[in-house]
Amino acid sequence: MAGLKKLMFWATVAGAAAAGVSYILKYKEYQKELEGEFKDFEDELSDYKTEDATANRKYTALKSTTDEFVTAAKDTANSAKGMASAAKEMLKDVANIITDNVSAAGDVAKDNAKPLFEKAKSSVEPVVDKAKKQLDKFGKDSKKSEVVENDLDSDVEVEFYEMDSDEDKKGLAQKIDDILENSTDKK
């Protein structure tokens, strides 16, 4: 059994060596063929003169009538109109996208501002209560105390307005002016 294993081992080594030698010989033969073909191609290139090729060139004259030029100009103009209208529609779409994004950003800002306002209001109330107590301690007269208490009891009013994306700047400025007038009239 050991003799059979040795025989198999040496047969495998001999087969691998034969395959390696065969590969090397075929590779050398392939390289020789490739070099021969390259030399043939190089010889053909040197035989071909570039000056003769340009001298033998022939041009075909294209003859067009005025009607064909007019038709081509009309087609070009129609294509330009089509491109212009497509660009116009694309710009409208971009404007709509920007308007939607600005509107969404305004909604987010409004939603984020409400909780901050409530938090600020709740943090101010204890300070107002302390101030009232301090005022009472100092013994201010009743008239002044009532006026100050009435001022301290008044709630701060904040109104949020939703602005349409189509609303123009003049309308917005008018709305702000109206709000300011109403707030000064209340005082």
Give the CA dihedral 15, 17, 21, 23, nearest 10 degrees: 60
- Half-sphere exposure at residue 59, Cβ-oriented, CA atoms within 13 angstroms: 5
C-alpha gyration radius of the chain: 47
Distance CA 93, CA 165 (A): 14
What is the DSSP code (8-state) at residue 166? T
Amino acid 145: pLDDT? 46
How confident is residue 114, by pLDDT bands cut at 50, 70 and 90? Answer: confident
Q: What is the pTM of this model?
A: 0.31
What is the DSSP code (8-state) at residue 124? H
Q: What is the 3-state secondary structure (H, E, C) of 74-113?
A: HHHHHHHHHHHHHHHHHHHHHHHHHHHHHHHHHHHHHHHH
Query: How high is the mean pLDDT of the chain?
Result: 76
| 8 Å CB contact between 102 and 162 | no
Amino acid 171: pLDDT? 66
For residue range 143-178, list pLDDT tens digits in order.
454 554 555 555 555 565 565 555 555 666 677 777
